[in-house]
């Protein structure tokens, strides 16, 4: 089966463990539901967080979501002047029969403005 990449992003209102974990769980749930992703489809997930988030690793939220056996990695987002604050991004590598154009990338809350070219 082909390997595809699925993107998503969200923002949090506060730099807290609870807010970060809840945002990751919500984002992954929406991404997987919109694209029919099953646990066994997953290859790996790469998270980034902006420099203003320090309270928790986004990957810890993914483990709460049930992805403890999937390779997860966190990194810092580039610190670009004027970039969206308190933002968590994810790149999901998965096996899927969907072609690239059929994947539905998910941007929630303040992150909606990052990709206004994508369908809902």
Catalytic (active site) residue 89: yes
From the candidates 26, 30, 34, 74, give the one annotated as an active-site residue.
74
What is the spatial distance between Cα 75 and Cα 42, in angstroms, rounded to a whole number?
19
From the candidates 4, 77, 86, 87, give the one annotated as an active-site residue.
77
Catalytic (active site) residue 7: yes
What is the spatial distance between Cα 38 and Cα 48, in angstroms, rounded to a whole number?
22
Catalytic (active site) residue 77: yes
Catalytic (active site) residue 104: no
Catalytic (active site) residue 87: no
Please check whether residue 61 is in contact with residue 86, taking contact to mean a CB–CB distance below 8 angstroms: no
Catalytic (active site) residue 115: yes
Catalytic residue list: 7, 63, 74, 77, 89, 107, 115
């Amino acid at each position: 089966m082909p390997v595809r990449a699925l993107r998503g992003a969200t923002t949090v209102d506060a730099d807290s463990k609870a807010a970060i974990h809840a945002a990751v769980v919500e984002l992954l749930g929406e991404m997987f539901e919109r694209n029919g992703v099953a646990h066994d489809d997953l290859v790996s997930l790469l998270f980034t967080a902006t420099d203003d988030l320090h309270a928790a690793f986004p990957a810890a939220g993914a483990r709460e979501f049930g992805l403890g056996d999937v390779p997860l990695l966190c990194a810092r987002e580039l610190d670009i002047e004027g970039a969206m604050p308190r933002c968590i991004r994810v790149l999901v590598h998965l096996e899927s029969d969907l072609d690239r154009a059929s994947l539905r990338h998910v941007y929630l809350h303040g992150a909606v403005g990052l990709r206004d070219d994508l369908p809902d």
